[in-house]
Amino acid sequence: MNILNGFESGAIEQAVAVLTAGGVVAFPTETVYGLGADAFNPYAVTKIFEIKRRPRFDPLIVHIYSKDWMFDIAEHVPVLATHLADRFWPGPLTIILRKKSIIPGIVTAGLSTVGIRIPSHPVALELIKTLGRPVAAPSANPFGYISPTRAKHVIKSFKDKVRIVLDGGDSQFGIESTIVSIAADDDKVIVHRHGAIPVEEIQAMGITIEEKKGNDTCEAPGELPYHYAPVKPLIIIDTFKESLLESSSFLGFIEKKEKPTVRYIKYLSQDGDLREAAANFFSHLIDLDREDISVIYAEKIPDKGLGKAMMDRLKKAAQKCVLQGVEKYDGS
């Protein structure tokens, strides 16, 4: 594995050489680090699924360099989609559109649609521009685990499974993109995944928002009930004044004078800033998961703006305990 500073001369060219040869590279985005391959090469994309051990029914996001590329890979672009792209691209909004046949079925899990976005991180943009083709990429972590926001997280997870890791510093937003689709009559936006663009910002454009109704089809990343989970059990609590195990750790929203009696503590924000909390979210979870503890207790986060996206991820991470029948962990 080669760890390259993505801002240094020659780093992008080395990564592009790997992608052109059908390989996989890890690269920074403003949301989390991605594991990328040439989106037009189905054999290269297969390697992403193999490295991550990702199920083939979970589609990938296609990252493009400019809005013009959207028309090259999408069969139809609704007017509402162009408005969203004009407002939020480059940036952490993924728009699901009907795809053209140039996008291989393995990218979209056999679906007729594809999620598209333009990242705003300069290293990601330069990588895609230099390659001259879209890059298919999920988060650069083993499937179901916490998403990486630093190059060292990727290195720890994959070691020699990835040829090149482009280090672009800490992720700006710290959580994945918001994913939306456009209703058939082009009059409202369907939210598939809450993320780094709060839905309130879309509503501020005068657009009607509707949550995706549950069905058996996974149309976008992050829709599975169990995801973003640490190895250690995670339990969401209302307050640390509940009975907590001393051998545990605590992920708090706002730093307080009174502290829980646990082994390790991390606070997402000093004063309740949701952007600061989101930027620290995955990184703090990874740090706590690597400590010698039996369980991670996570304090509830306000269910608004970016807090909605963080709570969505906490609930899915906690689902691991529910699936294992451990809703109240006793340390055994």
Q: What is the pTM of this model?
A: 0.93
Q: Quick one: pLDDT at residue 205? A: 96
Structural domain spans, the chain: 2-211, 234-323
Topology (CATH) of 2-211: DHBP synthase (3.90.870)
Instruction: Please give the single-letter amino acid code of residue 181.
Output: S
Q: Quick one: pLDDT at residue 6? A: 97
User: What architecture is the 234-323 domain classified under in CATH?
Assistant: 3-Layer(aba) Sandwich (3.40)
Residue 213 has, within 13 A of its CA and on its CB side, a CA count of 1
C-alpha to C-alpha distance for 210 and 189, rounded to whole angstroms = 6
User: Average pLDDT of each block of 10 consecutive residues along the chain (332 residues)?
Assistant: 95 98 98 98 97 94 98 96 98 98 96 97 98 98 94 93 96 97 91 96 96 76 79 87 81 89 93 96 96 94 95 89 44 38
Lookup: tokens for 132: 């001259």
Q: Quick one: pLDDT at residue 323? A: 42
Fold agreement (2-211, 234-323): no
Q: State the alpha helices, DSSP H only, in the chain.
A: 11-20, 42-52, 67-73, 79-88, 122-131, 151-158, 199-203, 274-289, 306-323
Lookup: tokens for 111: 């679906």
